[in-house]
């Protein structure tokens, strides 16, 4: 079977690595898997292809498409900072040689000018769509937070700060509904929560669409436990008896990442112990960390997997405070490194951690729950803590390895092709 993955993000960092690891896992299973990306470093032998060629016109086109697509947002000068993708413009790939040769086209995150809604409809192939955020079934937002208008048609969009109904969000949701109705889409949400949200949207057509809930994957060859004291030494982190509490990919300016809840949890922990040194990676406003002066280390933006593996391994606890997340890749990476996780028992993250076995799944969305989780794990006797770290690693490898998830997708591909 020939599978073509279409992806609009960088493959070698962030969310795009889930695509890359799945592709690599499929090839190990003997599947003819290819990736066509807007932001890839081409490697034909490894099955990686880019829409950006060596010619200047192709580079210019891929840089201009997302800018042109966002022009529609100029009509909404009060729009807030949350991501909203109209999905009007994109690449016409129906005649691309890789698309024509594929038995199945597998869509991933296809925004940023990769594909517009009409481009998807024109592919004329059986489609598998890994749902990595809410965009495929909303009017343009990628996470709805407390808005449920995507279930009834959108309009008066809180991201656009629009009072009108209809507006751009309702028109784009209607366009998706019309374009996708007759398409042979096999939806593959990466968490049970995403599957539930998808089924509530008018974009989902029960008569013609199938939903196959398949988790995201992590490369277990890259994420595994390192010796804790050595990891701290190599990163220059304290190794003086204080507990190290790590968090990452919690952009403090992003409302659905839950940094406000985590700030309050840290205040509670400061008042009631234990003695903690906090470690952060990713984009965090230094001003937001001012109350922790002398009690934290900011590692900055980390792309190197070996460095990230050391950070996870050095920590006693990993905290993921997201209030809305499709999956939670950093949670699984931490678990793969044997580090127990504290998160909220809600949305995509709630399906990853087994409460009191591989971590602590706190009631949503109270900071007190996060603080209680950190206290619980930090207070575990050595034998109980060792059992939790072992369970975290075991659950990560059994449920989320690239090999396991690739096997689920291979079975889905075979099911689709055998039904034709």
Q: Same CATH fold, 228-400 and 2-217+402-418?
A: yes
Q: Find out whether 155 and 287 touch, Cβ atoms under 8 Å.
A: no
Q: Which CATH architecture has domain 228-400?
A: 3-Layer(aba) Sandwich (3.40)
CA distance 37 to 356: 40
Q: Return the higher-pLDDT residue of 16 and 250.
A: 16
pLDDT at position 40 over 80:
no
Whole-number pLDDT of residue 134:
98
Handedness of CA 52, 329, 399, 312 (dihedral sign): positive
Give φ, ψ of 202 to 5 degrees: -65, -10
Q: Output the DSSP codes for 35-55.
A: EEEEE---BGGGTEEES--SS
What pLDDT sits at residue 44? 80
Q: Please state the rounded mean pLDDT for residues 347-374.
A: 97
Model confidence band, residue 176 (pLDDT cutoffs 50, 70, 90)? very high
What's the mean per-residue pLDDT of the chain? 95
The pLDDT-based confidence of 59 (bands split at 50, 70, 90) is: confident
Query: 242: which DSSP letter?
Result: P
The C-alpha atoms of residue 168 and residue 183 are separated, in whole angstroms, by 23
Q: Taking residues 193-203, what's their average pLDDT?
A: 97
Res 57: pLDDT: 87
Q: How far apart are CA 10 and CA 278, in angstroms?
A: 29
Which pLDDT score is estimated for 375?
97
Q: Which residue has the tokens 């112990």?
A: 273
**Per-residue model confidence as pLDDT tens digits over 273-325:** 679 999 999 888 888 899 998 899 999 989 899 999 999 999 999 999 999 99
pLDDT at 15: 75
Q: What is the 3-state secondary structure (H, E, C) of 116-163?
A: CHHHHHCCCCCEEEEECCCHHHCCCECCCCCCCHHHCCCCCCCCCCCC
CATH topology for 2-217+402-418 is Rossmann fold (3.40.50)
Q: What is the pLDDT of residue 255?
A: 81
The whole-model pTM stands at 0.94
pLDDT at 414: 98
Apex 237 CA angle, 234 and 242, nearest 5: 135
Does residue 265 have a pLDDT over 90?
yes
Distance CA 41, CA 218 (A): 20
The answer to whether the beta carbons of residues 396 and 220 sit under 8 Å apart is yes
**pLDDT attached to residue 377:** 98
The structural domains of the chain, with segments of one domain joined by +, span 2-217+402-418, 228-400
Residue 112's CB is within 10 A of a number of other CB atoms, namely 19
Listed residue (52, 181, 47, 34) closest to 100, CA to CA: 34
Please give the backbone phi and psi of residue 325, each rounded to the nearest 5 degrees, phi first: -150, 135
Longest CA pairwise span in the chain (Å): 63
pLDDT in tens, 115-169: 999 999 999 999 999 999 999 999 999 999 999 999 999 999 999 999 999 999 9
What tokens does 81 get?
């900072």
């Amino acid at each position: 079977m020939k599978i073509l993955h279409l992806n609009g993000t960088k493959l070698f960092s962030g969310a795009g690595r889930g695509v890359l690891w799945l592709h690599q896992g499929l090839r190990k299973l003997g599947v003819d898997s290819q990736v066509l990306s807007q932001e890839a470093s081409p490697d034909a032998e490894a099955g990686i292809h880019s829409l950006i060629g060596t010619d200047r016109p192709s580079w210019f086109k891929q840089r201009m498409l997302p800018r042109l697509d966002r022009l529609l947002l100029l009509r909404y000068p009060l729009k807030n900072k949350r991501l909203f993708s109209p999905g009007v413009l994109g690449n016409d790939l129906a005649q691309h040689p890789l698309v024509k040769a594929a038995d199945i086209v597998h869509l991933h995150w296809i925004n940023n000018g990769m594909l517009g809604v009409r481009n998807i409809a024109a592919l004329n192939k059986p489609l598998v769509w890994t749902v990595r955020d809410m965009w495929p079934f909303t009017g343009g937002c990628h996470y709805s937070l407390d808005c449920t208008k995507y279930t009834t048609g959108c309009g008066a969009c809180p991201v656009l700060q629009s009072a009108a109904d209809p507006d751009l969000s309702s028109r784009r949701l209607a366009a998706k509904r019309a374009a996708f109705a007759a398409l042979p889409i096999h939806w593959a949400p990466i968490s049970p929560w995403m599957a539930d949200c998808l089924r509530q949207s008018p974009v989902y057509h029960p008569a013609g669409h199938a939903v196959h809930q398949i988790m995201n994957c992590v490369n277990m060859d890259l994420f595994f436990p390192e010796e804790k004291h050595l990891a701290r030494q190599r990163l220059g982190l304290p190794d003086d008896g204080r507990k190290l509490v790590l968090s990452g990919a919690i952009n403090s300016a992003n409302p659905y990442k839950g940094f406000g809840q985590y700030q309050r949890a840290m205040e509670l922990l400061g008042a009631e112990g234990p003695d903690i040194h906090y470690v952060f990676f990713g984009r965090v406003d230094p001003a937001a960390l001012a109350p922790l002066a002398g009690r934290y280390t900011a590692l900055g933006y980390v792309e190197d997997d070996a460095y990230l593996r050391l950070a996870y391994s050095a920590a006693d606890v990993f905290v993921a405070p997201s209030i809305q997340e499709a999956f939670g890749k950093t949670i699984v990476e931490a678990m793969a490194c044997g580090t127990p996780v504290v998160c909220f028992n809600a949305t995509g993250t709630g399906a990853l951690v087994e409460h009191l076995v591989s971590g602590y799944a706190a009631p949503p969305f109270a900071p007190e729950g996060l603080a209680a989780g950190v206290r619980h794990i930090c207070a575990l006797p050595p034998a109980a803590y060792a059992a939790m770290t072992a369970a975290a690693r075991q659950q990560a490898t059994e449920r989320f390895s690239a090999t396991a998830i690739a096997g689920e997708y291979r079975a889905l591909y075979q099911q689709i092709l055998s039904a034709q």
